[in-house]
Structures are given as structure tokens and as C-alpha cells.
Amino acid sequence: MIPRYARPDMVAIWSPETKFKIWYEIEAHACDAMADLGVIPRENADAVWKAKDVEFDVARIDEIEAVTKHDVIAFLTHLAEHVGSEEARFVHQGMTSSDVLDTCLNVQLVRAADLLLVGMDKVLAALKKRAMEHKDTVRVGRSHGIHAEPTTMGLTFARFYAEMDRNKNRLEKARWEVATGAISGAVGTFANIDPAVEEHVCEKLGLRPEPISTQVIPRDRHAMFFATLGVIASSIENIAVEIRHMQRTEVLEGAEFFSMGQKGSSAMPHKKNPVLTENLTGLARLVRMTVIPAMENVALWHERDISHSSVERGIGPDATVTLDFALHRLAGVIDKMLIFPDNMLDNMNKFPGLVMSQRVLLALTQAGVSREDAYSMVQRNALKVWEERLDFRELLLADEAVVEALGVDAINEKFDMGYHTKHVDTIFKRVFGES
């Protein structure tokens, strides 16, 4: 996580100040619940809330931790400095450090997911806007990087919209799955703390009680969360790669917006490089880099070890901050992206009429020609288009066997572009629920 690829709202979720504030809220709400149960005096629970508006001193906590070598104990010591040693003596009653650490982590992940969902909504809005704008803008579809058959630029944006909409659904599910808390004590048995305390704390923090924890919340939940972030990152790269290919000089069907005063190259003043989408490809790699460690965190010794802890201190902020930045950058790229419809038609016509080969093939088979013979008849003309840049329709009209099978009018009819776009409205209705 570096400032260049970070947005302040997401960074704030992972700041030490935010973390200690959540720790405090966990401890204070737990005291309230224990007081309600008669486990600790009500006045002691109320005293903890004296620190409600305190900005905990990170440097002071670090100073204490340098001696205690334990971050939660260092925090509790500092809390007692604000509340009073006698008043704070029931804080953390029956709890273990992971009760605080794991519940806090999940609060942070839920808050991070909420910000990521905002970013996804911006991407979806940009994709929908451009899809509607270019629903009927014809361009050539490519498979293996080679001209295949006509499609539209709107369909390109629409398929990315559908992909991101699936990702939004995945993220909502991942958010739900990770939104649990555990205040269950040393090995999760509630031996020293009532389950009602956990229920109260979770309710106050917007979480659900973890049905069964050990000393930690099960890490399969977190593995699923980070795996979802990895899938979203891959979809970002999928869109970014398409834009990068469209911006190639030989293609130039679309391009990133190039602002006044922007420079593309230190050496070549003519350059307009797809730097934003190249950056998105790199950021996607960084997010995916966190997925395998999260999965490896699932397997812990017995009721727990802390092999997961150091990993999560890194991947929690790194994955969410990076993905948050990437989503907002992608939304901006799509929203301001330049589209060149004339170049799309020029590219399609570099090999005149060739994209209609399947229509001719199918017509020949329907006219009684065997598929093998039909394929041969079409291919021998298609190859001349490849090699000599001749017009496919004119070649077919000069091929006696093709004319005999289809007739002149039927051949000409096979070059109607509308044939390939006749179901665009149907596809749009499936994707957007409207025509």
C-alpha cells in the first residue's frame, strides 16, 4: 500500500487510530453486556465510556508495547490511563486477544467492502452509460485476435457490465460472510464469558455472532473474501486489456482520454500510451497476490496459532486499498474513454466482406450443398481476400459454383450488416432489464 495508489477513505479504515477506536468499542460494549448480566459493577462499565471521545495516542501505545511485546495489553494499559486503573479493572473480563483482534478485523473488512461496493457502482454506471451510447456502433468481433464476425461496441460494454454485476453480487455475499464477530474466550468455549456478551457486541458493531469459533474466527471466511477481491481484480484487468488492445495504433477503435498538457513519452512527443489501463493490469496482479496467502491462512494449529496474523496485517489493507483505487480509476477511464466508430468500420473493411463467410457457408448447406463442399467453396474465395485484399462479395459473384447454388440476389443479401445486430435489443434486455 503506497499513497500513489490509495484513496483517503479506504486508508482511514486501516489506520492505527481507527483500529484502536474499534478495539475500544469492542471492550466498552462487552463491559456493558457484562454489567447487564451482573458480572461486573455497572459503575465500572459506565466508567469505560469516559474514553468515548478520546483519540488514543498511537505513539504511547507503541511505547508500552515495546515493553510488553503484546499489542492488546499495550492498548488496555493505555486505556486504563484514560479511564483509571481501578475503574478499568474489569475491562477484557473473560476475553482473549483474538476476541478483539478478529472482531475488529471483520469490522474493518465490512467497512472496506462497503467502500468497494461504492466503487463498483461507479464502474457499473459508467459501463451502462457507454453501452447505451454505443449499442448500435458496429465493430468487428475478434477471436484469437483475428477478425471473426460483426458485433457492437455497446455489446462489448454490456458484457463487461454483466461481469461486474456478477462481481458486485459476489462481493455482497463475501461481505455478509465475513461480517461475524467472536467474543468467546480462550478457546471459544465461553467458559469465562457469557455468549450474551458476544451477541451484544456483535449487534452494536453490525456483525453476527460467529456460530462456532475456536480462539479465532474461522479463516475460510476471510479466504473467500480475498478470493472475491481477486476475481474482481481479474475482471478489472479483463476490461483494461480490451481497452489497451483497442488503443493500439493499428487498431485505434478506442483510447484513454489524453488531457491537455499530458505527455506520453520522455523521448517521443507523438506518443499517447494507455498508461491508466496498463496500471490497472498491474494493480490487479497486486490484489490477486493476496489470495493465496489468505487461503493458506485457513489451516491453523488446533484451536489456533498466529501464522495468519502477520499475513493479514499486510493483505487486509493492501488488497482493499489497491482494489478501491483501481475501481475508481477504471470508472474514470470508461467514463472519459474516446470511441472511434469510423475506425471500427475501416478495420472491418480491411478485408472487404470477409466477416460474412459463415452466412454464406450456412446458406450453401441450406441450398443442398454438403458442408464439406460448402466450406471449400467459401474458403477458396476467402483466402483470396486474405492474400490479395479482394472483395469477398465480388469473388463469390464471380464463382460459378456459388452463384449456381445460391443465385446473385441471395449472395448479395448475405452482406446485410443488420443480420448481425438484430438481437442486440434482446441481449440488452437480458443484461439491463430494458431495451
Cell numbers 474489569 correspond to 90
Distance between CA atoms of residues 23 and 20, nearest Å: 5
Distance between CA atoms of residues 380 and 234, nearest Å: 40
Distance between CA atoms of residues 347 and 202, nearest Å: 59
Cell numbers 454506471 correspond to 125
Report whether 311 contacts 294 (CB < 8 A).
Answer: yes
Report whether 269 contacts 226 (CB < 8 A).
Answer: no
Other C-beta atoms closer than 10 Å to the C-beta of 294 total 24
Give me the DSSP letters along 180-249.
EE----TTSS-TTS-HHHHHHHHHHHT-EE-SS-SSS--THHHHHHHHHHHHHHHHHHHHHHHHHHHTST
Among 15, 85, 92, 144, the one annotated catalytic: 144
Report whether 126 contacts 158 (CB < 8 A).
Answer: no
Among 265, 307, 310, 370, the one annotated catalytic: 265
DSSP three-state, residue 148: strand
Distance between CA atoms of residues 123 and 177, nearest Å: 23
Distance between CA atoms of residues 366 and 48, nearest Å: 83
Report whether 289 contacts 296 (CB < 8 A).
Answer: no
Would you call 256 exposed, middle or buried from its count of C-beta atoms within 10 A (0-12, 13-18, 19+)? Answer: buried
Grid coordinates in use for 268?
517521443
User: Would residue 265 show up in a list of annotated catalytic residues for this protein?
Assistant: yes
User: Would residue 143 show up in a list of annotated catalytic residues for this protein?
Assistant: no
Report whether 30 contacts 201 (CB < 8 A).
Answer: yes
Report whether 337 contacts 243 (CB < 8 A).
Answer: yes
Nearest partner of 74 among 108, 128, 23, 110, judged by Cα: 23
Active site residues: 144, 265
